[in-house]
Amino acid sequence: MPPSTLHGRSLLTIAGLSAAEIAAILDTARAQKADPAGPHGHALAGKTVVLVFEKPSLRTRVSFEVAARRLGATSLYLSPAEVGLGTREPAKDVARVLSRYADAIVCRTFGQDVLDEIDRYASVPVINALSDWEHPCQTLADLLTIREHGGTAGRTLAYVGDGNNVARSLAAGAASEGMHVRLATPPGYVLDDASLALARERAAASGGSVIVTADPLAAVSGRGLGDAGLPPADIVYTDVWTSMGQEAESQRRNAAFAGYQITTDLLAAAPAARLMHDLPAHRGEEISDAAFESAASVIFDQAENRLHAQQAALFHILA
């Protein structure tokens, strides 16, 4: 088997992966998930992955550590307080030190600039475990989940909520896979023009499309979109209104996003749709408890797939 085009490379954004590379990671994830005891089990024997996190995490931290072990690697987690990125010492020094100990750095930061600096100074691959700009590993798991629940190409994803890190990665990733992406975001929280342009470029190449609206019901139902309307969404996705680091804005955000909550009424506008959320969920804000707990939810399949998608990404980058 020829080496992956991702071998030795960093994974900083979904934008930095081609559609073919996204598909290759998803194919590997599916194969490894189907055969957990397969030959990949020792692919990273002797390697060490270090996780450096500036923010809390449940899924990303645990799934990366388990994924590394499943590939035969060792992992080590440094919590926000331990590292002091940019306070105890500059990020560029942390990057150069960790590169002497580890084969990859998995890093969760506030600013994407910090992540980019770490990548610039590291001599080993750096993987984005969430920054304020993107959450690429989440998107890989999301696409794996959508592939398992009816497929990606030609199907419709309605994202309702903040035009944030999760939305940015998801729009580019889903468009790369040939999905029709509808983003329902309130004024002031729309995805930036460059990210929309990238998603549209990917969609043009894959047969997908990207629509931006301020109307969650239109995004989910398809009614009122285009001349004759469009079909209802196959996937309804939301994320928190207040991301980590934005807590001081939460009152203003709750007001701006009123009307954007995923409820069972909204889901009824797309009766066959699966419901997704990257977690943690703020019930009563972006999603009602009844919607979260409804039969439409594939949220915990999605959470599980963090493990399989990241295992595949580590495999492509390091094996």
Q: Rounded distance, CA 71 to CA 86, Å?
A: 32
Residue 129 CB, shortest distance to ligand NVA, in Å, is: 10
Q: Rounded distance, CA 234 to CA 155, Å?
A: 6
Contact range with ligand CP by CB under 6 A, out of 22-30, 53-61, 143-151, 199-207: 53-61
Residue 68 CB, shortest distance to ligand CP, in Å, is: 15
91: number of CA atoms within 13 Å, CB side?
Answer: 23
Report if residue 277 touches ligand CP, rule: CB under 6 A. no
Residue 286 CB, shortest distance to ligand CP, in Å, is: 13
Report if residue 66 touches ligand CP, rule: CB under 6 A. no
Please measure the distance between the N-terminal and C-terminal CA atoms of the chain and give it in whole angstroms. Answer: 12
Report if residue 132 touches ligand CP, rule: CB under 6 A. no
* Positions 136 through 195 that interact with ligand CP (CB under 6 A): 138
Q: Which does 302 bind (CB under 5 to 8 A by kind): ligand NVA, ligand CP, none?
A: none
Main-chain phi, psi angles of 92, to 5 degrees = -65, -30
Q: Rounded distance, CA 138 to CA 166, Å?
A: 7
Residue 277 CB, shortest distance to ligand CP, in Å, is: 9
Find where tokens 């592939």 sit: 147
Residue 279 CB, shortest distance to ligand NVA, in Å, is: 7
Contact range with ligand CP by CB under 6 A, out of 51-59, 71-79, 143-151, 283-291: 51-59
Instruction: Indicate which single residue of 10, 13, 32, 60 sits in contact with ligand CP (rule: CB under 6 A).
Output: 60
Look at residues 75, 103, 105, 81 and name the one whose alpha carbon lies nearest to residue 93: 105
Identify the burial level of 177 via C-beta atoms within 10 angstroms of its C-beta, where 0-12 means exposed, 13-18 middle and 19 or more buried: buried
Binding site for ligand CP (CB under 6 A): 57-60, 130, 138, 278-279
